[in-house]
Amino acid sequence: MHTLDEADRQFALHPFTNLSAHQKQGPLIIDRGEGVYVWDDQGNRLIEGMSGLWCAALGFSEQRLVDAAAKQFAALPYSHMFSHHSTAPAIELSKRLVQMAPEGIGKCFLVNSGSEAVDTAIKMAWYYNNALGRPGKKTIIARQRAYHGVTVAAGSLTGLPYVQDGFDLPAIPVIHVETPHAYRFAEPGESDQAYSTRLADSLERQIIEAGADTIAAFIAEPVMGAGGVLIPPDGYFEKVQAVLKRHDILFIADEVICGFGRTGNAWGCDTYGIKPDIMTSAKQLSSAYLPIGAVLVTDALYDAFSQYTDKLGVFGTGNTYGGHPVSAAVALETLRIYEDDDIFGQVRSRAPHFSERIQALQNHPLVGNTRSVGLIGAVELVADKDSKTSFPAADKIAVQAMLAARKHGLIVRAAPGDALAFCPPLIINDEQIDDMFDAVTDALNDVLKANSTAV
Ligand code: PMP
């Protein structure tokens, strides 16, 4: 007989895990959850300061979602959306998503995950340009440190070396442009607006150099999540959209993390004045209780698809479980809870306290930069605050902080650029926010002590 720990090491191949380190340290086995808390198999209670993977918006014990799933399982556990088939939950969900989406969005295509949503969005951008008789317009512009998923096309857009190295990615035509991150990359004394202008000018130069007639779309997370919670400087998206418009390039907003209240509004697009041609969403769409994603497109794109299918026969893409009725029923109930409980309003009212507690960490000797919007944020750890000098990569300083936080009852995440990321369930209250940042402070003090010769 294996213990669970032994069986995990022997049989499970873990994503985004150093495989040999896993053999030594073994798994963190999570047993159960309630509200914003989870318990490991040793009985330790942890605040889930990352909502799992930026997704469990309503925490871990929302009975309405359990009931919605049970009801739909009993009525119809499976159907699909191929060849004119549909179900009530998939229809109702599509309607609700389109109605809450930014102006211009008219149709919803249901998938199972963020990566699938992004892959589908890329295919749609290609299909659109083929429909318009512009087959050369295929390259996608993404940004360094972007995270758009791991499948062959989506993983090609992700701008993180550890997602691409060893997997022969990128495998589709992509250009990675600069990351908007003022703390690291703005010139000394450069205003947000001036920095945004510089980034938009640079984007335009790269478009002209490649040829606008080769570029299909620009893809961006409104706030970059897995790349380290990078919040765009003022004016950035306004200036970028003007460039894209001039060159007839589609805007794909990857709302997989920002969607459904994370930044204080329904969409990151609402927070940053983005008018997307295509939107991808997943994660908080079902509060993560079941896998589901959605791709939302404008009527203009849909009309082009529709005419093209008259020529090609069918819109030849889709997945067996796209629009799965149980996932759709749970997503629909999630959206109802967001509305009934004014969850996005709650995010707006908790955000100032969250931001205050993050900003207070600026006084800590290890913290070079703090940033947040809504209920997502990060601190960036440095060896020297004045010169912004980083710790040696081998120190894995953010990983040290992440592990120290766990000892103080908190799950947070080490992100690229020595960032420690926070993305708690949207139902977190002020007292729990305090507990969370008290634990972060204790963890940073532990790390400071352990690395005291380096600072
Ligand atoms: N896009 C963004 C912005 C994401 O954060 C993620 C997942 N972290 C994805 C796409 C991919 O989603 P999934 O893991 O569901 O494939």
Alpha carbons 291 and 225: distance in angstroms, whole number: 19
Instruction: Give me ligand 1 centre to Cα 287, in Å.
Output: 14
State which of 16, 51, 147, 292 you would mutate to test the pocket of ligand 1, scoring each by most atoms of that ligand within 8 A of its C-beta: 147
Are 343 and 67 contacting, i.e. CB atoms less than 8 angstroms apart? no
Closest to 427 in 3D by CA, of 111, 113, 73, 65: 65
Kindly give the number of the ligand 1 atom that is closest to the alpha carbon of 225. Answer: 5
Confidence at residue 453, expressed as pLDDT on a 0 to 100 scale: 62
Instruction: Give the tens place of pLDDT for each residue, 5-34.
Output: 999 999 999 999 999 999 999 999 999 999
Alpha carbons 229 and 184: distance in angstroms, whole number: 13
Q: In order of start, what are the domains of the chain with their CATH numbers?
A: 4-61+342-453 (3.90.1150.10), 65-341 (3.40.640.10)
Proportion of the chain in helix, strand, coil states, percent, rounded to 5:
45, 15, 40
Alpha carbons 356 and 98: distance in angstroms, whole number: 34
Residue with CA at minimum distance from ligand 1 atom 13: 114
Confidence at residue 455, expressed as pLDDT on a 0 to 100 scale: 47
Instruction: Give me ligand 1 centre to Cα 256, in Å.
Output: 6
For 37, the 3-state DSSP assignment is strand
Strands (E), 263-359: 278-281, 293-298
Q: Is 443 exposed, middle or buried (0-12, 13-18, 19+ CB in 10 A)?
A: buried
Pocket of ligand 1 (CB under 6 A): 53, 113-115, 118, 147-149, 221, 225-226, 254, 256-257, 282
Residue with CA at minimum distance from ligand 1 atom 10: 148
Alpha carbons 269 and 282: distance in angstroms, whole number: 15
Closest to 267 in 3D by CA, of 97, 119, 111: 97
Task: Give whole-number Cα distances, 390 to 105, 121, 380, 382, in Å.
Answer: 43, 36, 9, 5
Instruction: Give the tens place of pLDDT for each residue, 94-123.
Output: 999 999 999 999 999 999 999 999 999 999
Residue with CA at minimum distance from ligand 1 atom 1: 148
| Ranges of the chain whose pLDDT falls below 70 | 453-455
pTM summary value: 0.98
Instruction: Give me ligand 1 centre to Cα 400, in Å.
Output: 25
Please say whether the dihedral angle defined by the alpha carbons of residues 345, 347, 348 and 350, taken in this order, is positive or negative. positive
Q: What is the DSSP letter of 233?
A: P
Q: Is 10 exposed, middle or buried (0-12, 13-18, 19+ CB in 10 A)?
A: exposed
Confidence at residue 247, expressed as pLDDT on a 0 to 100 scale: 98
Task: Give whole-number Cα distances, 6 to 11, 29, 41, 396, 403, in Å.
Answer: 9, 12, 14, 26, 21
Closest to 405 in 3D by CA, of 50, 23, 20: 50
Confidence at residue 184, expressed as pLDDT on a 0 to 100 scale: 98
- The partner residues of 37 in beta bridges, in order of sequence, read 34, 47
State which of 16, 54, 115 you would mutate to test the pocket of ligand 1, scoring each by most atoms of that ligand within 8 A of its C-beta: 115
Instruction: Give me ligand 1 centre to Cα 64, in Å.
Output: 25
Are 342 and 261 contacting, i.e. CB atoms less than 8 angstroms apart? no
State which of 111, 156, 257, 321 you would mutate to test the pocket of ligand 1, scoring each by most atoms of that ligand within 8 A of its C-beta: 257
Instruction: Give me ligand 1 centre to Cα 148, in Å.
Output: 5
Kindly give the number of the ligand 1 atom that is closest to the alpha carbon of 149. Answer: 11
- The partner residues of 298 in beta bridges, in order of sequence, read 105
Instruction: Give me ligand 1 centre to Cα 376, in Å.
Output: 15
Alpha carbons 325 and 340: distance in angstroms, whole number: 22
Task: Give whole-number Cα distances, 398 to 146, 228, 341, 380, 414, in Å.
Answer: 19, 11, 35, 8, 5
Instruction: Give me ligand 1 centre to Cα 279, in Å.
Output: 13
Are 329 and 68 contacting, i.e. CB atoms less than 8 angstroms apart? yes
Instruction: Give me ligand 1 centre to Cα 147, in Å.
Output: 7
Closest to 407 in 3D by CA, of 47, 32, 57: 47
* Helix residue ranges, H only, 12-78: 19-25, 51-54, 63-75
Tokens 């004119």: give the residue: 84
Long-range contacts of 199-206 (CB under 8 A, 24+ apart): 199/233, 199/236, 199/239, 199/240, 200/236, 200/239, 200/240, 200/242, 200/243, 202/177, 202/178, 203/141, 203/177, 203/178, 203/240, 203/243, 204/243, 204/246, 204/247, 206/141, 206/175, 206/177
Residues in CB range of 439: below 8 A, 6 or more apart: 47, 405, 408, 409, 410
Kindly give the number of the ligand 1 atom that is closest to the alpha carbon of 282. Answer: 15
Instruction: Give me ligand 1 centre to Cα 154, in Å.
Output: 9
